[in-house]
């Protein structure tokens, strides 16, 4: 099947069968704090400690991430409104509080310095070196088949 005949919507539905966690990637810039919701996040390496975030080229926060430190905030189940806020549906008042570039109450944080940036087609792939992290126990916010969902623990 050639690229021109591939049904992009169906491909997206196929990708959606992979359940993911939900993150908000945040950064500080001279024009303020910015963020975006991303479920395209993965660990890359432990030595050195690297993570990768895939960002849509149309995302408003994209220019602020270039050559900038960023924080990956892994959201907990109760933070669906925060995910929507940073996914282009801002709410007033904001459903979260800042702690520097962290989103308070998140399940985990990874503060990163820029490591590399790659062309990813309609996305830009940002690799960051983790310089600080912290995490807590709790239930993560999950995303599956285009919807938020819960992670069911093994019995």
Instruction: Report pLDDT digits (tens) over 22-41.
Output: 999 999 998 899 999 998 99
Which DSSP string corresponds to the chain?
Answer: --GGG--HHHHHHHHTTS-EE-EEEEEEETTEEEEEEES-EEEEEETTEEEEEEEETT-TTHHHHTT--EEEEEPBGGGHHHHHHHTT---SS-SS-EETTEETT-SEEEEEEEEEEEEETTEEEEEEEEEEEEE--SPBPEEETTEEE------
Residues 6+ apart with CB under 8 A from 128: 50, 51, 52, 53, 69, 70, 72, 110, 112, 113, 114, 115
Question: Which residue is associated with the tokens 């801002």?
Answer: 90
Instruction: Tell me the pTM.
Output: 0.90
Regarding beta strands 147-149 and 32-38, do their DSSP bridges make them parallel or antiparallel, or are they unpaired?
unpaired
Q: pLDDT of 68-115, one tens digit each?
A: 999 999 999 999 999 999 998 888 899 999 999 999 999 999 999 999
More confident residue, 20 or 52: 52
Size of the chain in residues: 155
Mean pLDDT value across the chain: 91
Q: pLDDT of 47-65, one tens digit each?
A: 999 999 999 999 999 999 9
Q: How confident is the model at residue 1 (pLDDT cuts 50, 70, 90)?
A: very low
Instruction: Return the structure tokens found at 2.
Output: 């050639």
Sort 53 into a burial class: Cβ within 10 Å, 0-12 / 13-18 / 19+: buried
Q: CA 104 to CA 98: how far, in whole Å?
A: 6
Q: How confident is the model at residue 151 (pLDDT cuts 50, 70, 90)?
A: confident
Question: Which residue is associated with the tokens 């926060």?
Answer: 61
pLDDT value of position 3: 53
Q: CA 106 to CA 96: how far, in whole Å?
A: 10
């Amino acid at each position: 099947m050639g690229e021109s005949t591939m049904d992009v919507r169906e491909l997206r539905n196929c990708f959606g069968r992979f359940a993911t966690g939900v993150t908000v990637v945040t950064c500080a810039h001279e024009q303020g704090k910015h963020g975006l919701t991303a479920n395209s996040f993965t660990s890359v390496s432990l030595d050195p400690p690297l993570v990768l975030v895939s960002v849509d080229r149309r995302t408003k926060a994209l220019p602020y991430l270039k050559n900038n430190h960023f924080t990956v905030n892994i959201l907990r189940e109760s933070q669906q409104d925060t995910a929507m806020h940073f996914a282009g549906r801002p709410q007033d008042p904001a459903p979260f509080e800042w702690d520097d570039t962290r989103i308070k109450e998140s399940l985990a944080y990874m503060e990163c310095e820029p490591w590399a940036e790659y062309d990813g087609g309609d996305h830009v792939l940002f690799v960051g070196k983790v310089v600080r992290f912290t995490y807590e126990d709790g239930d993560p916010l999950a995303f599956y088949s285009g919807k938020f969902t819960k992670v069911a623990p093994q019995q």
